[in-house]
Amino acid sequence: MEMSSNDIILDVTDLHIEFHDHDKPEVAVEDFDLMLGRGEIVGIVGESGSGKSMSALAIAGLLNRKSLTKSGRIMFDGTDLLTCDRKSLRSYQGDEISIIFQEPMTSLNPVKRIGWQVEEPLFIHHQEIPKEERKKRAIGMLKAVGLDKAEDVYNMYPHELSGGMRQRVMIAAAMIGDPKILIADEPTTALDVTVQAQIVELLKKLNKEMHTSIIFISHDLSLVNQLCQRVIVMQQGNIVESGRTSEVFANPRDPYTKKLIAAIPKIDLSDDRD
């Protein structure tokens, strides 16, 4: 890879995740490598069960089940996220590394106001910020994710918002701490197509303006093609192909990648990445 070591903010090597729920151990992720540059957007694609979400959860530090072995290294900021203690992990979560989920409908706490939920990461990680400043930043963030009446939304409850608006709120909450890495785990799957395009545009905008690196997990190759500079294709826990998105799309080497590309509905595949 043609990046200098200064530009690499996340370095995953030989990640290996194994479940022990049943008699026979099941391998969820094998030999997963990922180097994420500053301000880069990397896509991970693959069918369900291919290990893409497991890898992302491992990076986010959400894999602490007992019936699970993991090995490898996830280096971030000089710390191995796989082995570090919970306290330092927690200090990264929501502040330096944020994640947004597939399900915007259920990912917001139904009894808390939107503003409160957007401010929560700030409240936890930056208690020195006064209340008014927090509110100002939350409203600013809500505006940045394209919610027009940010002041009104600030005082609303989740049930008053549509799915697309909730996903925008989730993104606002994830981005308020100005994280270095945003993991988007199928952020558009539960949304309809026009809203999908808007969310992808929003991620692109945030990436450009705030220089946040994004790991975009999806099974939708056309979205990955629109958004990501690099792509990793996974099948059954293994990386079958990775490289620049344009190259992978132009010359897929692996038969599975070819099949995935062939499965994209034939619409305009023009490349509008920059």
Q: Using the rule CB under 8 A, which residue among 30, 38, 39, 62 binds another protein?
A: 62
Q: How far is the CB of 6 from another protein (least distance, A)?
A: 26
Q: Give yes or no for residue 68 binding another protein (CB under 8 A).
A: no
- Cα–Cα dist 11/67, whole Å: 25
125/230 with CB nearer another protein: 125
Q: x/- contact string, 183-222, with another protein (CB under 8 A)?
A: ----------------------------------------
Q: How far is the CB of 194 from another protein (least distance, A)?
A: 24
Piece of 19-27, 74-82, 97-105, 224-232 that binds another protein (CB under 8 A) = 97-105
Considering only residues 27 to 56 of the shown chain, the ones binding another protein according to CB under 8 A are: none
Q: How far is the CB of 211 from another protein (least distance, A)?
A: 21
Q: Are 132 and 71 in contact (CB under 8 A)?
A: no
Beta strand segments in the chain, E: 8-19, 26-37, 41-45, 68-76, 79-80, 97-100, 181-185, 213-218, 230-235, 238-244
Q: Using the rule CB under 8 A, which residue among 1, 111, 193, 267 binds another protein?
A: 111
Piece of 13-21, 34-42, 121-129, 242-250 that binds another protein (CB under 8 A) = 121-129
DSSP type of residue 75: E
- Cα–Cα dist 128/86, whole Å: 22
Piece of 74-82, 118-126, 246-254, 261-269 that binds another protein (CB under 8 A) = 118-126
Q: Could you give the angle at which helices 163-175 and 114-125 cross, rounded to 10 degrees?
A: 20
- Cα–Cα dist 120/49, whole Å: 32
Q: Give yes or no for residue 91 binding another protein (CB under 8 A).
A: yes
Taking 3-state DSSP, the helix, strand and coil percentages for the chain, each rounded to the nearest 5, stand at 40, 25, 35
109/251 with CB nearer another protein: 109
Q: Give yes or no for residue 120 binding another protein (CB under 8 A).
A: yes
Q: How far is the CB of 82 from another protein (least distance, A)?
A: 16
Structure tokens at 117: 């939920």
Amino acid at the residue 259 = K
Question: Which residues fall within 8 angstroms of residue 245, CB to CB, at 6 or more apart?
Answer: 43, 224, 225, 228, 229, 230, 231, 273
Binding footprint of another protein on the chain (CB under 8 A): 60, 62, 90-95, 98-99, 101, 103, 106-112, 120-121, 124-125, 170, 173
